[in-house]
Structure 1
Amino acid sequence: MIRRDFIKNGTLSALGISLLSTTDTFGHLFNPSERNANGAAKNIIFLVSDGMSSGTLTMANLLSNRMYGRESKWTSLYHERKVVRAFMDTASANCMVTDSAASSSAWGGGIRVNNGSLNVNADGSHNTPILQKFKNAGKKVGCVTTVPITHATPAGFCICNKSRSNQQEIALQYLPLKFDVMMGGGDKYFNPSKRSDKADVYSQFEKASYKIVKTKAQLLATDGQKPLLGIFGDDALPFSIDQRNDKQHQELVPTLAEMTVKAIELMKDHPNGFVLQVEGGKVDWAAHSNDSSGLLFDQLAFDEAVEKAIEFAEMDKNTLVIITTDHGNGNPGLFGEENSDQKFDLFQKFKHSNEWVLNNIKPNASITTLVEMIHDAQGYTISNEQAKELLSHYQKLDGTGLYNARKLPFELLGKIQGDYTCVKWGSMEHSADYVELAAYGPGSNLMKPFVINTELHDLMLNATGVKV
């Protein structure tokens, strides 16, 4: 494994970054009373806003300030100097631009693997995932996410598989691990009527003494007597902007913050502590679709989970909270010096994501109908020419983007939307950007100003004193 020690080799100085001032700032971002020795953390909450470029964090904070009159929790942690802050290199073993499987595996297994792999090295050998290590050490462990629980980021903390695409297989790999809390979407990987092999994975979990819940009410009523499997959607959960404007979604689907609170509640009294991974997975899906409203409101929903985790850690005093992303995606930003404030404020009128809009357009819709529909869903009026161009793509279905099975014109709508909101996109793919990383609580002092993603694996083990 090649490890890039940027501080040792002076690369930060070569990039024109003031290393001394950066180190000095980072060194004073946490409370001196939190300079605990190794092994001081009983619990860990590891929060991942998947695919969060720095512009996403910035714009979510701007939207929170302008819409709610308060900073995002993540930004406030910087402002109030409550956390240790760092940059992180996210590269995989075979590419400077990582995917989520390799990135989560770097944290989970402590070794960089090739893109697409889950803790499996190029030679076929396996790296034991960190939640297995913590479970074997006697802690309770779990994952919650807004995408399928079998998806790359939770899987990288849990299992080994040569391909992240093997989600039916991954669902079965979770079974013998007896993890304590697993929540997200992905019914199609557990339901016998939807699996290609017709296996009833739900029944297998029930036979292994799991409590199965499929609605928010069932989740909130869970008492923690059994390990929990919560599946709240066929694939991913709805975007937050769509959920907040759909009563059925609100009644049936828990938010990421609600899942986080419940997971903590179910594990917090365990005498040996717990380790929980929390993923805002649809931030990444929105970025792949250049879906600005999906992105920003899901980032704010992730921020609510951050707030709940910090509230618990402040009360508990024994919990290390790590907040980060696995890679950038799309590099969105707010651009333009004229009327950009007013245009950005349009997001306060949004009722739905681009995903909702595009999936509700009828191929034979009139231009007038489409213009009215977008105005009602997102608060701006596109031109007849723009409506005509959008409709033309429903005849050829040639749209791009990773999570776009219907080949809808996500990229085009993202560009059109940018004319009215001033939010523009660099691409529809992951980036090699170094990303934000923050840590709060016992063990946070172990974090350096510049981190290679694999280093978080050992940091978590060291912070809890777990020997493997």
Structure 2
Amino acid sequence: MSIDGVTLTRWYNAYDQASGKIDTSKNLSIDQMASGLVRTYWQANGVVGAITDSAPAGTALATGVKTMDKFIGVSEEKKPLATILETSKNIGKATGLVATSQIMHATTAAYSSHFPDRSKEAIIAEQQVYNSIDVVFGGGYGNLQNREDDEDLVNVLKNQGYQYLTDKKDLTNAKNKTWGMFAESAMSYEMDQKTLTPSEPSLSEMTKKSIDILSKDKDGFFLMVESSKVDWAAHANDPIGMISEINAFDQSVKAALDYAKKNEDTMVIAITDHGNSGLTIGNKQTDTTYSKDSVDKFVAPLKKAKLTGEGIGKKISGNTDNLVKIMAEYGGISDLSTEEIAQLKAVLNDEKKDKQALYGSNMQALYGQLISKRASLGFTTSGHTGEDITLYTYLPNDERLTGTINNTDIPKAIAKIWGIDLSKETKNYYTDAKEALEKLGAKVSIDDSDQNNVKLVATKGKTTLEIPENKNYVLLNGKNKELESVAVNVENTFYVNNKALKLMK
């Protein structure tokens, strides 16, 4: 999320389309929380990178450690790192994850799983299911069933005592341990939900329900909420998608603030993991006019849109006969040129052949170009950017994080409040099992007869200890023994909770 995205969203909300008036006093909920800046660079193997990806950025925010590109919850040496979610859980706090992407996507994965490849969502999903998180809301049920390891993770959740939800109407009945999977992969942009996916809840609805459930725990709670598709819209250079999800994020922050201000014992931090797209309010078209251009030049064209670029693509659904009508009715563009119509048809035909952009669709990217041209908005890239990002914090005693800090400082600040030492907890949760068990005199081997369910096996006298990958239990002479954290297998090196080692006599 970029600062210009926040600014554009504020102006968008302030502009009244009917009267053309602008309410300059209109603010976002996050505005009252701005307290500093955050540096987002990555660092590993002696290299410092200015522009980070979501996996190392998420890992920094979750663990307080900088790491390699594509790494999730592991150090540059590929060793698992204890996350602030895991450590808060293990001191008795309730925990929750909410996202509008698939919950296995980079940021939420970094808080709840460990693997040196963010694309391995099947592995990430299994670790998440076995990581005993109290509330999980988002998309991604496609990673829970019809898996190569033949494990039905929905049944696993139900057997663990979770309520499993798939529809917005079921959200009101959620009371305790709950997994809500509202889409096969990512959820829709919030602006598109009413028209295209009315069964999906809003981000603020998921946030409020999470707080309702988690706040019942007398020991307190940790909740991480992500408006995931701000990033995706930025990749597609779709300003409507960006505004949709920044507003969704702001409403979820409001829900958290309302709770925090009422209870006066809660810290709220709102940030992005990195910049994206280089959005500018103003472009080459405004080089000589910017000092005379009023706000409505930049937001009036955007106000005409009723769907994001992704939503428009779904509404057209490959039928180019209704393209012009839908672009006018839902995209807010009624003056398409002959050349633009030809461009749109060519993109739609390409997408029939599954030639898609990295995030979103080529249709969304083209729509972003068309609407941005009309709104005099600029974009420098379809990728991430390296600027410092805004830090938004709230604490009832006003001991907020201020100044310019590092992204790794954020989990450390939370850990300090709760008396947690993240480095120490990493040593407790993720010990090299083979090395430790051999020191105890055990014979250790890897059983990879089932490539999708690899396990470490240790024997010593009459004792056999089996450690299945991605599970929060071990088998001691065939009997399940539950652990506080999952066993992580990285290239046949197993990392396991120290409690498992104590079982080997």
Q: CA deviation at 1:196?
A: 4.0
Q: CA deviation at 1:421?
A: 2.0
List alignment gaps of at least 5 residues for structure 2.
Answer: 17-21, 426-505
Is residue 78–residue 115 contact of structure 2 (8 Å, CA) maintained in 1? no
The answer (yes or no) to whether the contact 1:333–1:423 under 8 Å persists in 2 is: yes
Q: Percent identity?
A: 26
Find the structure with the greater CA-based Rg: 2
User: Within 5 Å, which residues of 2 pair with 1:301-316?
Assistant: 301-316=248-263
Q: Matches of 2:348 and 2:193 in 1, distance apart?
A: 26
CA distance in structure 2 between the aligned counterparts of 1:60 and 1:363, rounded to whole angstroms: 30
Amino acid of the structure 2 residue aligned with 1:112: K
Q: Supply the AA of the counterpart residue of 1:100.
A: S
> Structure 1 residues 142, 260: closer, same or farther in 2, change over 3 A?
same
After superposition, the C-alpha distances for 1:228-261 in whole angstroms (9 at most, x for unaligned) are 1110001111111111334xx33x1110000000
2:245 counterpart of 1:298: yes
2:169 aligns with one of 206, 217, 220: 217
Q: CA deviation at 1:400?
A: 6.4
Which whole-Å deviations, capped at 9, do the CAs of 1:390-417 have from their partners, x for residues lacking one?
Answer: 222344459664224xx62443332222
- Deviations for 1:296-345, whole angstroms, at most 9, x for unmatched residues? 01111111111111110000100000011000111212213346614512
Q: Which amino acid aligns with 1:206?
A: K
- Count of equivalent residues: 401
Partner of 1:456: 410
Instruction: Give the alignment of 1:272-291 within 5 angstroms.
Output: 272-291=219-238
Alignment match, 1:62: 11
Give the equivalent residue in structure 1 for 2:301.
346
Q: Is the partner of 1:244 in helix, strand or coil?
A: helix
Query: Counterpart in 2 of 1:379?
Result: 332
| Cα pair 1:399 1:409 within 8 Å, conserved | no
Distance (Å, rounded) in 2 between the aligned partners of 1:325 and 1:376: 33
Q: What are the within-5 Å matches in structure 2 for residues 223-372 of structure 1?
A: 223-224=175-176, 227-246=177-196, 249-250=197-198, 252-335=199-282, 336=286, 337=290, 338=293, 341-361=296-316, 365-366=320-321, 369-372=322-325
| Cα distance in 2 for residues equivalent to 1:411 and 1:399 | 13
Which one-letter code corresponds to 1:228 in the other structure?
T
- Cα shift readout 1:21-72 (whole Å, capped 9, x = no counterpart): xxxxxxxxxxxxxxxxxxxxxxxxxxxxxxx011111111111111495634
> 383-392 or 307-316, which moves further after superposition?
383-392
- Please list every run of 5 or more consecutive structure 1 residues that lacks an aligned counterpart in the other structure: 1-51, 78-82
The 1-side partners of 2:373 and 2:402 are apart by 41
The answer to which of 343-352 and 161-170 deviates more is 343-352
Shift of 1:446: 5.3
Counterpart for residue 184 of structure 1: 138
Change (3 A) 1:340 1:416: farther
Residues 156, 442 of structure 1: CA spacing in aligned structure 2 closer, same or farther, 3 A cutoff?
Answer: farther
CA distance in 1, matches of 2:302, 2:117: 38
**Could you list the per-position Cα deviations for residues 60-111 of structure 1 after superposition, in whole angstroms to 9, with x for gaps in the alignment?**
111111149563433541xxxxx36111111122422111111110011111
Larger RCO: 1 or 2 (CA < 8 Å, sep 6+): 1
Q: Distance in 1 between matches of 2:312 and 2:333?
A: 13
- Residue 343 of structure 2: aligned partner: 389
Give TM-score scaled by structure 1 length: 0.81
Shift in alpha-carbon separation, 1:76–1:128, aligned structure 2, 3 A: closer
Which of 10, 28, 38 matches 1:88? 38
1:419 to 349, 367, 373: 373
Asked if the contact 2:36/2:391 (under 8 Å) is kept, the reply is yes
Question: 1:58 is aligned with what amino acid?
Answer: T
2-structure distance, mates of 1:177, 1:257: 24
Over aligned residues, Cα RMSD in angstroms? Answer: 2.2
Could you tell me which residue of structure 2 aligns to residue 156 of structure 1?
Answer: 110
**1:101 counterpart letter in structure 2:** A
Q: Which one-letter code corresponds to 1:450 in the other structure?
A: T
Contact 1:400/1:410, CA 8 A, preserved across alignment = no
